[in-house]
A and B are shown apart, each in its own frame.
Chain A
């Protein structure tokens, strides 16, 4: 049982390049989330999903897109990377937040946009 995994762990992009971050969970969780963490700050929600085939915007969605084609995977895409997107990205999942299930976090992806 690997829990929540993220790929890649670290990436350097040039401004304007695109990339996709992959989050995978093997706990059969319904809910999945993408957060970003900037230095000295707490996490901010980018997008989330309440089930396979669903996505919704969080607090800071601009510049990102997401897809949840399979229940176990949640993809975060950057179409045209900007230096302001330099951050650490965390994925999380939970079984059903309505019943107080806690969120389990992946190890994070460190992204540097030059």
Chain B
């Protein structure tokens, strides 16, 4: 069974950094692209970015508002993908989901989702 478990969320102060982890199991992790998607309280979904699988170089892409402060990496030996968030702002407060992605019709979609981890940025 495919499982994705996010961790690392919590309360952090503005300007600080936080690293989220997504631990995968039940599939060959290295073969898949992995995304991060966030959802602010009461708001819709926002794509944070993703990292391709090893066959495609493990390259990353980010949403326009994430570039520069957020970075995604992966450790295929541990089946973990990370989201490093720097210079946190109040507007980064959200539930952060990781997903296993599949390529279709020119891009990727989020096939399986984790349960999410809440990040609250406040002084």
Bound together: no
